[in-house]
Structures are given as C-alpha cells and as structure tokens.
Chain A
Amino acid sequence: GQNIDQPTEMTATEGAIVQINCTYQTSGFNGLFWYQQHAGEAPTFLSYNVLDGLEEKGRFSSFLSRSKGYSYLLLKELQMKDSASYLCAVASAAGNKLTFGGGTRVLVKP
C-alpha cells in the first residue's frame, strides 16, 4: 500500500519562502508529483520528480530523496495568489496510478 504524509496547513507572509514537506512509504515508486489546487478549482500540475535532486521552475522548486522517502516543494517570493492547497502524489510502480496525500493548505498573508 501507499502512505503519504504532508502538513495540513501552513501560513506565510507575502514575499517570503515556504517549504512544504511530503514523506511517503510505498510498495512501488514511479515518481512524485506536486499539484496546486485553488478552492473550488481543479488541481493543476506543478512538478514531477523521479530522480533524486532539485528541479527548479521559476519561483517553485521541488526536491526528491528516494532513499529517505521524502520530497519538498519550495515556494519563493510568495504572492497572494499562491494561497491554495498543495497536493503531493506518488505514482505507483505500475504505470501512472497516483496516490495523493491529504494536501497542505497554504495561506499567504500581506
């Protein structure tokens, strides 16, 4: 089975940096995804990591350590529009079946 843990909620100030951690225990692993979901909207893709290391995409970066079963999403230069839920999802060894964590709700304050 799969077990994915991430904090329920985080608060940060506009312009600051926030790091959202995700730990996982899986019976197979074929990569880790991060999605952003604004309230009442569909999740949208942010990043995919399958090898260890850091992937940077503008203000967002994602890190993976397969040996530790650990990933984080780093949001820099926070903007008010970054207030959303951030979902960590692990792809099973068999194809593109995703198991999601409960999501981390990030609130950005002025």
Chain B
Amino acid sequence: ETGVTQTPRHLVMGMTNKKSLKCEQHLGHNAMYWYKQSAKKPLELMFVYNFKEQTENNSVPSRFSPECPNSSHLFLHLHTLQPEDSALYLCASSRDGLAGGYEQFFGPGTRLTVL
C-alpha cells in the first residue's frame, strides 16, 4: 500500500448506529487530518493531529470522536449521526502539522450516508 488509504469507501448507517472510519498513511508523516466535504460547500477541516496529539478541533459536534493511536493511523468514530452529516469524509497527512508549507496528501475518502 502506498500513500493514504481509507476504509470503508462507502458507508450507509442509521441514526442510532455506531461506526468507525479508518485512515492509514504510508508516507512517514507526523500529522494527520480529518476533513468533511459536503455538496456545494467548501472542504471543511474537522480535526488535526500532530505526533498523535490533537492540535485542532474545529468546533466539531461530539457525535464525531477522533482517535489517533500512532502517527500512521487515524480513526473517526461515529455515533448518533444526523442526515445532514452525510458527506465525503477525507483523511489527509503531512510531514508536520505545526510548521507551515507542507503539502497535505489526501486519501480517497469515505462516502457516508446517514438514513
């Protein structure tokens, strides 16, 4: 595997379900990110982790719970979501999350539908 991988690629869940999204980066990076991309809205940063520590929570509702066990893996735990949470969830990584100028490499995303 190379680059940034995400599983599952598609997920349909009910509002009472609990599910998790997984992201793995094979680039030796130290920073990982979760983004939400909704139709007709800008790509929106959710969380940033740098060396496994969360450095940014962009006012995300608590029904989204991130976890970063090591610099290569990032999870997004989902619980009691709303239909408006349906979107493409993108994971990204970069060499550093605190210093500027490092490009972010994106995974293919998980297309989430909440019924």
Contact = CB atoms under 8 A, between A and B. Distances in A.
Interface of A: 4, 30-31, 33, 41-45, 48, 50, 87, 89, 91, 94-103
A45 B105 contact: yes
A97 B90 CA distance: 15
A105 B41 CA distance: 13
Interface in B35-51: 40-45, 48, 50
Contacts of A103: 42-43
B81 interface: no
A95 B100 contact: yes
Interface size class of B (residues with CB under 8 A): 20 to 34
Contacts, number: 65
Given A31-B101, A42-B108, A43-B43, 13 more contacts: A4-B42, A30-B100, A30-B101, A41-B108, A43-B90, A43-B106, A94-B98, A95-B50, A95-B98, A96-B96, A97-B48, A97-B56, A99-B42
Contacts of B90: 42-43
B97 interface: yes
Interface of B: 4, 31, 40-45, 48, 50, 55-56, 90, 94, 96-109
10 contacts: A4-B42, A30-B100, A42-B109, A43-B43, A45-B105, A48-B101, A97-B48, A99-B45, A102-B40, A103-B43
Given A42-B109, A44-B106, A48-B101, A95 B55 contact: yes
* Residue in A30, A98, A100, A101 whose Cβ sees the most chain B Cβ within 10 Å: A98
Nearest to B106: A42
B101 A97 contact: no
B86 to A, nearest CB: 16
A42 B42 contact: no
A18 to B, nearest CB: 21
A99 B46 CA distance: 11
B42 A50 contact: no
Contacts of A96: 31, 48, 94, 96-102, 104
A99 B35 CA distance: 10
